[in-house]
Amino acid sequence: MEENNISGLETENKAEDNPVAVTERKLKKGKKRWFVLAVFLLLFIFLLGGIAIGFIAGGISRQVWSDSLNRKWSQLFPGNKKEPAVLKQQIIEDDSAVIDVVEKNSPAVVSIVISKNVVGGNSLFGNDFNFPGFFDNNSNGTTPDSGANPQKQKVGGGSGFIITADGMIVTNKHVMVDKNAEYAVVTSDGKEYPAKFLAADPVNDIAIIKIEGTNFPTLNLGDSDVIKIGQTVIAIGNSLGEFSNTVSKGIVSGLGRSLTASGGIGQAERLNNIIQTDAAINPGNSGGPLLNINGEVIGVNVAMAQGAQSIGFAIPSNQIKRVIDQVKTTGKISSPYLGVRYVEIDDTIKKEFNFAYGYGVLIVRGDTVTDFAVIPGSPADKAGLMENDVILEINAVKIDKKNSLGDIIAKNNVGDTVKLKVWHKGDIKEVMVKLMERN
């Protein structure tokens, strides 16, 4: 029995050691392992695919939602495609910029108080000195009352801004028009200083005054040649002569405007190439700054259109830089002049005189004997210009509505030599003229 058992075991071991059987078993095990790996690989691929499809679907959903929101927002606010959050942020940034400009620059804006001896009662703006619809001083006072004694009273107000730390101030010439009045400057902190008149520009409505002191806050002049229609501007001034440092915000509404500003006491002045703005400018704002969003002065508020709404005007900063520099260095304003009486060439004059040019100015005599076409002893007289000559260009710049003769001359200094292109009796010639100081 034991031998048989041993014999059986030996037979079984021999069967297990058979190479063919071993190989078959290994192949079966290998197939199982590859099958498991293939299943796991397919599951992994399916998982990645599901994640990718989920991201894509989510992105599409978000885009569809965003597009839907934008469409609804556009319907509510046509032309504005920004989402509410973006718009809100933009509004906050815009307000913050304006607030920053006002906070930094208001201390350099001053109120000008005009006082004089008047008899009887007084209404501050009863007889305003008005540039079209403008304010500025009631220099006429009120109807005298023979039974009363003259009393010093406030009769007007204006604005200005400090340009040097020692108290030099820019304002309008028409604010300082009454030689019999007294002028005081009130700073933003309520301190009052007597004002000393330094100089007035004979061409532009600009005056320079001064107060005594040190370390005053100042404003910087910007480049008015680069401003654009539609850009934000801020006006600060003594509105109605009562509300100092009043702030108004608007845009540049137009450039290169020209108008004649006339006052209630018989004064008038031609303003050329000035800025139009819809920022609220009220009586009392004369001489105050018009600022850009960087806090730079790009204009000096000068007038508003009478009977209109939101139509104000400012003298561009580049027109006053030369004036300020002259006063700083010489203490006065020296303005060059040519010395001719003229009319601008238009279609009617061109046709009447059979001119070949539709631009330039015609030198003409005035209505009286003393209204010479060419002022005796003037630069034009010394250069040989004559009545009926037509000045076409100055320093290669055509004289037209955009570039008036006065504006071109004003850009030069006393003593400069300019080249004129002149039509003289049918011939074109060049004339060199040395500019002299206007008396």
Catalytic annotation, residues: 174, 205, 286
The 10 Å Cβ neighbour count of residue 72 is 10
Cα–Cα distance measured from residue 320 to residue 411, given in angstroms and rounded to the nearest whole number? 10
Backbone angles phi, psi at 106, to 5 degrees: -55, -35
Q: Where are the beta strands (DSSP E) in 90-241?
A: 109-118, 151-162, 168-171, 182-186, 192-194, 196-200, 207-210, 232-239
Distance between first and last Cα of the chain: 153
H/E segment holding residue 2: helix 2-16
3-state secondary structure of 149: coil
55-to-65, 66, 102 alpha-carbon distances in Å: 15, 16, 49
Contact yes or no for 281/248 (Cβ under 8 A): yes
Contact yes or no for 156/138 (Cβ under 8 A): yes
3-state secondary structure of 252: strand
Burial (CB < 10 A; 0-12, 13-18, 19+), residue 107, is: middle
Strands 417-424 vs 390-394: parallel, antiparallel or unpaired: antiparallel
